[in-house]
Amino acid sequence: MKTFRRIALALALVLAVAGTASAQFRFGVRAGIQTNSLHFEKSTFDEDNRVGFTGGVMAEFTVPVVGVGADVSLMYTHRNQGLAVIDADGAVEDGDRGLNYIEIPLNLKWKIGIPVIQKIVRPYIFTGPSFAFLTSKRAITDAVKNKSCDVAWNVGFGVELFSHLQASACYGFGMTKAFDFVGVTEANAIDARTRCWTITAAYLF
């Protein structure tokens, strides 16, 4: 986790620098949908995509002219998990369950200025880490528990319309394991990570 803390600190420094460099600061609301799936080491265990939703607030800093900046969001995210688990008696438990998170994406962002039309349409790209903190029940069974913190790395693109409305899509690569196994030593070798497509729209004031 030290690596992720350093990344978060670096992005925080970018925000601080942007704030002291006559950067444009804006805040707004953001909402959208998220499709997530679990990716295991063996493809036979892959889970189908499940659709959830996300919504919250965001802040953005942008340095004028060059278009480089950063944004941070505070989001409530609901994911649906479809992992079926066999219990100690050999019975298969229904794996459909909802997971609720408080998610904090931190992104470096570059808005690409196109003369004449940039105040109407302005594309941008972004990347950065996302920290999702589980607020719902961790336990799947007595032996399997969801991780309390899920860290991902996002890569995405978007477009800004009329300098206020932003529509974006990003793909999140899971950087940490999705599960903890309690008292099952051999199961700890299973590497399952969450991967997500997130599509959102935001309005910045």
pLDDT value of position 91: 45
Q: For the chain, how long is the longest CA-to-CA vector?
A: 68
- Taking alpha carbons only, the member of 112, 100, 103, 104 closest to residue 62 is 112
For 185, the domain range is 2-204
CA 120 to chain centre: 28
The number of domains in the chain is 1
3-state secondary structure of 44: helix
Contact between 148 and 138 under an 8 Å Cβ cutoff? The reply is: yes
Q: With 80 as the cut, is the pLDDT of residue 35 above it? A: yes
Contact between 153 and 183 under an 8 Å Cβ cutoff? The reply is: no
User: 64 vs 27, which has greater pLDDT?
Assistant: 27
For the segment 36-72, what is each residue's pLDDT rounded down to a tens digit?
887 766 544 445 668 899 999 999 999 888 899 999 9
User: 80 vs 8, which has greater pLDDT?
Assistant: 80
3-state secondary structure of 50: strand
For the segment 104-120, what is each residue's pLDDT rounded down to a tens digit?
999 999 999 988 899 99
pLDDT value of position 16: 59
The answer for residues whose C-beta is within 8 angstroms of residue 3's C-beta and 6 or more apart is: none
For the segment 155-195, what is each residue's pLDDT rounded down to a tens digit?
999 999 999 999 999 999 999 988 777 765 555 556 778 89
For the segment 138-162, what is each residue's pLDDT rounded down to a tens digit?
877 777 788 899 999 999 999 999 9
Question: What CATH code is carried by the domain that includes residue 22?
Answer: 2.40.160.20
Dist. CA 89–CA 190, nearest whole Å: 21
- Taking alpha carbons only, the member of 123, 124, 125, 127 closest to residue 106 is 127
